[in-house]
A and B are shown apart, each in its own frame.
Chain A
Amino acid sequence: MQKLYIHQAVSISAQGFWVGFSLPVLRENLQRYRAIDADYKSVIPAMALRRMSKITKMALWCGLTVSKNTGLDWDGIIVGTGLGNLADTEKFLNLISSPDLGLISPTAFTQSSHNTLSGQLALQLKNHGYNMTHVQRNFSFENALKDASLQCQFGLKAILLGAADEHIPLLDHLAKEAGYEEADIDKFGEGASFFQLSAEQPSEIFVRDVLVKTAGEDPLQSIGAFLEKNQVDIDSTLLISTADTTYDFKMKQRSVAELAGKYMTSSGIAVHLACSYLAQQDYQYVLVWNNHSTNGLGLILLGHA
């Protein structure tokens, strides 16, 4: 695929909020992974902010901060979310299952729609361009990134790409009922990451290739073949995974699970972290390995000039 240059990155996670490529002081082994609230009202109008759930606030804060810093009128706004607006969905499900169902407020219903994030960004930015939301479980961000690459082939120049997922207590409860261990439930995280992308305007850091495999295969073999196809040397490459297992593999490894917890689109913050390592020129390449599930995998290869 053609190179996709990354010009800006903004994230919110359990690490706090993070603007730009410089590597913040990372806090390891947190006890819980709720994202730390940013000063949302710095970019989101107070009236709109009042009705927003956390995922919308996080996504808007990140997306609008990138927009403010670039001043661009986006040709496309592309968002990936694994589970969408869970808090609003739960709220509306509770409303409609209450025994005294009378007149109910439509706010939670309208905001529960998965495209609330991309739609609100367009609304706040008065942006009439391409507007898309991808929702494919663990691979929602990878698919959004693939779409960004596709749209660049059809002439879109400035793209705002993002990922977001939120945590609600019901997830812990359901996981417990489904037999998850406490230690695994404690790892549930949330966050949002947004990027300015362009295929035309060069920058130091770029996405070189993206691969999603939907069927289970030996991951080490898939990684090996992917690096070979891209003629990338393992020794100069850092591997950032989304799950917290380390593998018996020659590459240097890092996981975002211990920094931001686990959530479906955490490969977004893994890409942000990759940008930081590449900006410092610690590595020639970073490979983001989405290994949330053993059923398939996502690979995003980033490099610096």
Chain B
Amino acid sequence: MTAVNITGLGVVSALGVGAAHHFNQLKSGVVGIARYPRDEDFLYAGKVNFTNRQLAALCGVQFSNYTSRTALLGLFAAKEALSRIKSVRKFPAAFVNGATVGGMDLSEQYFAGKSNPAQRDARVFEMHDLGANTTFIANHLRDFQYVNTISTACSSAANSIMQGAQLIRSGEFQYVLVGGTDALCDFTIEGFKSLMVYDSALCQPFDINRRGLNLGEGAAYLLLESDECIKESGNPCLAKVVGWANRNDAFHNTGTSPEGIGAQKAMLAALEIANLQPAEISYINAHGTGTLNNDLSELAAMEAVFEGQLPDFSSTKGAIGHTLAASGAIEAVLSITSLLGNCAFGNIGLTDPMTPSQVLLRKPKTKEIHHVMSNSFGFGGNSTSLIFSKG
């Protein structure tokens, strides 16, 4: 049975570009979330500091008003993931992408122009559907024999990584690109505002005074290779995906159960697949959105799984924002840099921590790290837990 080797990493978020850069930013406590102007007002969001035109140029594709920001962010991060590795043509390749908004930034233009039919352009819908965004990214990378989009809300990219790991482990594919992408758009900003969970100030995950989340945008991808494939490619194995599980909370359409049943089941099942004891986890990169509901049930779930012996944990959403479908992949990349750099990241924005325990990291902590768990939960009760180990 082959290991699931990670050989390429690419990430773009409000903190910048590249895995190493993200590591340095987080180790230095940099916050990427900033004022995001909207109409005459502003809110706090983690915006990627490139225009669509700049992203297109960085990707080496022609700029078009009909290409979604989600697709451009995705292509940019995917190219970054593949930039330092040797490509292998001997084996069939797969691409599994996570997405939730797709081309919503363009679809919104059609609705905004509804009062003036002359301004409406049906072509803006060409990239509305999620699959179109995935296909765009795939077509600009290489030949893929399998292309798929997973959409399980905020756990989409985590589930893409899980599916990629299973495709490698089963022997069906040797070379799989996995991850996710989502752009900021009015649809999700107004959506979370309508749910009364958008923090008008900087978000404070795992703080007693937390008021909600700040949205972010970005994309991240991991290249997974089988043992046989690395022999062929010669690409060094950076880390391994060793545990994965997808469970459902089955409690409420958007909220999570107070005891985090789905999260508990996902973490326990991922530990079982990784063949690890809870005590062997060095650091948990938590979902930690900053909403009252999520952080409460997530902490309860972690306490139940780790039976009061919680490892160091933190949420990095105070630095990047909640990047929805992309978050599972961005946080997977962060988890892997944490493994490689032996540093557990600090939880940004803590003033009154939900737990007095020092395992909720106030600041970055340098220590030997062997296994990192990364959790992602979403609407529809979707709960996914991933575990990464040193290569």
Contacts and interface: CB of A to CB of B under 8 A. Distances in A.
Interface in B341-391: 378-382
A110 interface: yes
Nearest to B246: A130
A109 B99 CA distance: 16
B195 interface: yes
B276 interface: no
B134 A93 contact: no
Contacts of A130: 246-248
Interface in A85-138: 92-97, 101, 103-106, 109-116, 118-120, 122-123, 125-137
Interface in B80-120: 99-100, 107-108, 111-112, 114, 120
Contact of B100 (A114, A136, A139): A114
B150 interface: yes
A93 B123 CA distance: 17
B262 interface: yes
B125 interface: yes
Given A134-B148, A212-B146, A150 B250 contact: no
Interface in B136-191: 138, 143-153, 159, 163, 166-167, 170, 172, 186-187, 190-191
B172 A133 contact: no
A4 to B, nearest CB: 15
B254 A110 contact: yes
A115 B153 contact: yes
B131 A135 contact: yes
A174 interface: yes
Contacts of A94: 111, 114
A13 interface: no
A131 B248 contact: yes
A241 interface: no
B122 A92 contact: no
A177 interface: yes
A125 B143 CA distance: 40
B194 A125 contact: no
Interface in A126-160: 126-137, 139-140, 143, 146-147, 150-151, 153-154
A75 B143 CA distance: 33
A236 interface: no
A26 B253 CA distance: 37
B261 interface: yes
Nearest to A171: B125
Contact of A150 (B114, B125, B152, B166): B166
B12 interface: no
A174 B123 CA distance: 9
A84 interface: yes
Given A114-B151, A133-B152, A97 B112 contact: yes
Interface residues of A, number: 56
Interface residues of B, number: 58
Nearest to A123: B250
Contacts of A110: 191, 195, 253-254, 379
A78 to B, nearest CB: 10
A132 B148 contact: no
A29 interface: no
B129 A135 contact: yes
B253 A153 contact: no
B167 A93 contact: no
Contacts of A154: 166, 170
Contacts of B186: 96
A304 B381 CA distance: 37
B265 interface: yes
A93 B166 contact: no
Contacts of A140: 131
B130 A114 contact: yes
A36 to B, nearest CB: 26
B129 A106 contact: no
A113 B100 contact: yes
A281 interface: no
A245 interface: no
Contacts of B159: 132
Interface string A68-91: 000000000100001110000000
Contacts of A183: none
Interface string B237-275: 000000000111111111000000110010000000000
A140 to B, nearest CB: 7
A147 B163 contact: yes
A47 interface: no
Contact of B163 (A77, A92, A150): A150
Contact of A113 (B114, B172, B379): B379
A129 B248 contact: yes
Given A113-B153, A119-B381, A214 B147 contact: yes
A178 B123 CA distance: 7
Contact of B151 (A84, A97, A101, A128): A84
Contacts of A92: 187, 190-191
Contacts of B253: 110-111, 116, 119-120, 123
A197 B187 CA distance: 36
4 smallest beta-carbon distances between A and B, as pairs = A119-B380, A109-B191, A137-B131, A177-B122
Interface of A: 77, 82-84, 92-97, 101, 103-106, 109-116, 118-120, 122-123, 125-137, 139-140, 143, 146-147, 150-151, 153-154, 174, 177-178, 212, 214-215
29 contacts: A82-B129, A84-B151, A93-B108, A94-B111, A94-B114, A97-B111, A101-B190, A106-B194, A110-B191, A110-B254, A111-B253, A114-B153, A115-B152, A116-B379, A116-B380, A119-B248, A119-B382, A122-B248, A123-B251, A129-B247, A130-B246, A131-B247, A132-B150, A135-B99, A135-B151, A136-B131, A140-B131, A214-B147, A215-B143
